[in-house]
Structure 1
C-alpha cells in the first residue's frame, strides 16, 4: 500500500510502498478516508518537539475510515462500518498504569516505545492497523463529511481535560491557550458539555474576534497584555461576576509560565486547574503556584495527558446528538501524494477551527 514516510527528523515526507498491515486477534484494519494533520506536525517531523518516535515511520495521529477487516474477537464491528481511529494506544498487560503510545506521533517512556514497535505506524497511509477497542463506531456517514468528522481527533484532547476537571453543566471555564487549534476546540467542547460561559484569553486579536463571532456572549474573550496581575483581573472580569470553576491550560511549549500562572490563579475557592499543555517540555522555568493560596483555597491542580478509554465513544455521541457542532470547522483537504503540502498548510493555519486533512 502507499504511505507517507518520515525517514529521518528534518527530512520531508516521502511517498513509499509499505507492507500491508497484517491482521491479528484483537485488531482491526481500517481503510483510511480522512486523517487530520496536527498544526505542529512540522515541528515533530523536524525533531524540534523531541518526541519519542521510532524512525522510519508513517506518521499521522488518528483517522476516520471504514473497517476493512476485524479480528476474531470483534463482536459488533463489521467490514464497511465507519469508525474513528483513536490514536491513543494503551498496552493491555497493565490495567492500572498501562504504557501508552500515540500512534504515528509519540510515546511515553520506554514502555511506550516497546508498544510503538507494533502499533507505531500512523494514518498517513491507505490503511491503518488499530487495536479493536480503538476503532470507535460512528454510524452512517456521508463520505464527503469524513474530513469534518476527523475533528473528533482534535476535540478528544481538551475533552479529556474537561472530564479530568469534572466540568458540570452551568459552570464557568477558562481555557488558557484558547486562540490555538486545541484551545479553540476546547471552547466548543466545553460549551457542548454544558458550560454556561467560557473565558478565552489570548494575544491573537483575529482569533479572539473569530471566537466571539462563533459563540457570541457564551465566550468571553480577553486580550492578554503580558502583565500577570492585569491579565488576571481582566480574565476574572470577563466571567461577568460568576466564579471561574475550572481552568484548562493548553498552551504550547513555546509559551512561558507567566500566562499559565495568571490563568490558574483566577480559579475560585475549591476550583480546579487542569494542565494539558506543553509548557516546560523544551526547557525553561517550571510553573510555581503559591503553596498558601493552594492550601487555603482548597484548589485542586492536576496534570492530564490525553483522555480515558471511553472518551472517544462519549465524544462521538456528543457530535451525533448535535451538541458538539462539527460544522464549525473549516476543512482543507489534500491527497496523500500532497502530504508535505498538507503539513505546511496545517502549520500556517493553526488558529481555532482550521482543520487540515489528508484523504488517501
Structure 2
C-alpha cells in the first residue's frame, strides 16, 4: 500500500510504498477513505510540540473508511461496513486506569509508548489496522462525503469534554478558546446538547462575528483585551447570569492568565474542565487560588480525549443534523499532496475550517 511516512522530525512527509498491515485477533483492517489533518500537524511533524512519535511512522489521528477484514472477536462488524476509526487506543489489561496512545499521533507515558510500539501507524495511508473496539459504524450518508465526516476527530474531543463536565440542557457554558478549530466545535456541540447560552471569548473579531451569525443571541461573544481582571469582568457580564461550566481548549501558545480569567467566572458549585495545551511548551503555571476553589465548592477536572462511548453519542449528533456538518468548510487533498494539506491546515485554523486527506485517487 501507499502511505505518508514521517521519516524524521523537520522533514516533509514522504509518500511511498510500505507493507500492507495485517490485522490479528482483536483487530480490524480498514481501507481509509479520508483522514483529518489538524491545524497544528505541522508543529507535530517539525518537532515543535515535542510529541513522542518515533519515526519512521505513518501519522494521522483517526479516519473514515470501509472494513476490509475483521478478526474472530467481531460479532457485529462486517466487511464493507462504513466506519469511523477512533484513534484513542486503550490498553486492555487495566480497566480503572488504562494506558493510552493516540494511534499515529501521541502516546501517554511509558505504558502508552509500549502500546504505540505495537500499534504505531495512523490514518495517512491506504490501509489502517485498528483495534476492534475502536471501530464504530457510520450512517450510509457519510459515504457520500467521507472527508466531511473526518470532523469527528474534532467534535469527539469537545463532546468528551462537555460530557466530563456534565453539561446539562439549559445551562450556561463558557468556552475558553472559542474562536479556534476545537473551541468552535465545543460551541456547536454544546448547543446540540441543549446549552441555553454559550459565552465565547476571543481576540479574533472575525471569528467571533462568524460564531454570532451562526448561533444568534444565545451566543455571547466577548473580545479579550489581555488584562485578566478586565476580561474576567467582561465574560461574567456577557453571560447575563451565572456561568455553570467552563471548558478550556486554548492552545499551547496561550498564556495561563487567559485560562485562569475564564475559569474564575464559574459560579459557586460550578465545573471547570481543562482540555487545552496551556503550559505544554513552557510558560507560567496555571494557578487557581485554593481558597476560591474550596469556598466556592468548584470542581476542576482535567480530561484527555473522551470515553469510548462518546464516539456513539457524537456520531448520533452528527447523523441527526444537530451538529450541522453542511456548514463546515472542507478542503480535501490526495495522498500525494500530504505536505500541501499540512500547510493548508496550518493556514486555516479557524472556526469550522477542516482539512482532509483522501488516500484514494480523487
Interval containing the TM-score (normalised by the shorter chain): over 0.9
Q: Given that residues 175 and 198 in structure 2 are in contact (C-alpha distance below 8 angstroms), is that contact kept between their aligned partners in structure 1? A: yes
Aligned to 1:312: 311
Q: Distance in 2 between matches of 1:295 and 1:205?
A: 35
Q: Distance in 1 between matches of 2:67 and 2:141?
A: 13
Deviates more, 1:317-326 or 1:350-359: 317-326
Report 1:175-194 matches (<5 A).
175-194=175-194
Report 1:154-303 matches (<5 A).
154-240=154-240, 242-303=241-302
- Structure 1 residues 3-35: Cα deviation after superposition (integer angstroms, max 9, x where no partner): 000000000001111111101111111111110
Report 1:67-82 matches (<5 A).
67-82=67-82
**Residue 142 of structure 1: CA displacement?**
4.9
Q: Distance in 1 between matches of 2:289 and 2:142?
A: 51
Report 1:37-52 matches (<5 A).
37-52=37-52
**Residue 177 of structure 1: CA displacement?**
0.5
Structure 2 CA distance for partners of 1:142 and 1:232, relative to 1, 3 Å = closer
Report 1:90-169 matches (<5 A).
90-169=90-169
Q: Distance in 2 between matches of 1:31 and 1:151?
A: 18
**Residue 317 of structure 1: CA displacement?**
1.1
Deviates more, 1:320-329 or 1:29-38: 320-329
Secondary structure in 2 aligned to 1:23?
Answer: coil
Secondary structure in 2 aligned to 1:141?
Answer: helix
Q: Distance in 1 between matches of 2:139 and 2:104?
A: 25
Q: Given that residues 35 and 124 in structure 1 are in contact (C-alpha distance below 8 angstroms), is that contact kept between their aligned partners in structure 2? A: yes
Aligned to 2:16: 16
Q: CA RMSD in A?
A: 0.9
Q: Given that residues 257 and 285 in structure 1 are in contact (C-alpha distance below 8 angstroms), is that contact kept between their aligned partners in structure 2? A: yes
Q: Distance in 2 between matches of 1:36 and 1:309?
A: 19
Secondary structure in 2 aligned to 1:8?
Answer: coil
Q: Given that residues 82 and 141 in structure 1 are in contact (C-alpha distance below 8 angstroms), is that contact kept between their aligned partners in structure 2? A: no
**Residue 43 of structure 1: CA displacement?**
0.1
1:57 partnered with 2:64: no
Q: Distance in 2 between matches of 1:77 and 1:31?
A: 14
Secondary structure in 2 aligned to 1:122?
Answer: coil
Aligned to 2:332: 333
Secondary structure in 2 aligned to 1:33?
Answer: strand
**Residue 158 of structure 1: CA displacement?**
1.0
Q: Given that residues 81 and 139 in structure 1 are in contact (C-alpha distance below 8 angstroms), is that contact kept between their aligned partners in structure 2? A: no
Aligned to 2:25: 25
**Residue 283 of structure 1: CA displacement?**
1.1
Residue-pair matches, total: 359
Q: Distance in 2 between matches of 1:328 and 1:162?
A: 21
- Structure 1 residues 270-294: Cα deviation after superposition (integer angstroms, max 9, x where no partner): 0000001111111111111111111
Q: Given that residues 181 and 350 in structure 2 are in contact (C-alpha distance below 8 angstroms), is that contact kept between their aligned partners in structure 1? A: yes
User: What is the TM-score of this pair, normalised by structure 1?
Assistant: 0.98
**Residue 70 of structure 1: CA displacement?**
0.5
Q: Which runs of 5+ in 1 are unaligned?
A: none
Q: Given that residues 255 and 279 in structure 1 are in contact (C-alpha distance below 8 angstroms), is that contact kept between their aligned partners in structure 2? A: yes
Q: Given that residues 41 and 343 in structure 1 are in contact (C-alpha distance below 8 angstroms), is that contact kept between their aligned partners in structure 2? A: yes
**Residue 313 of structure 1: CA displacement?**
1.0
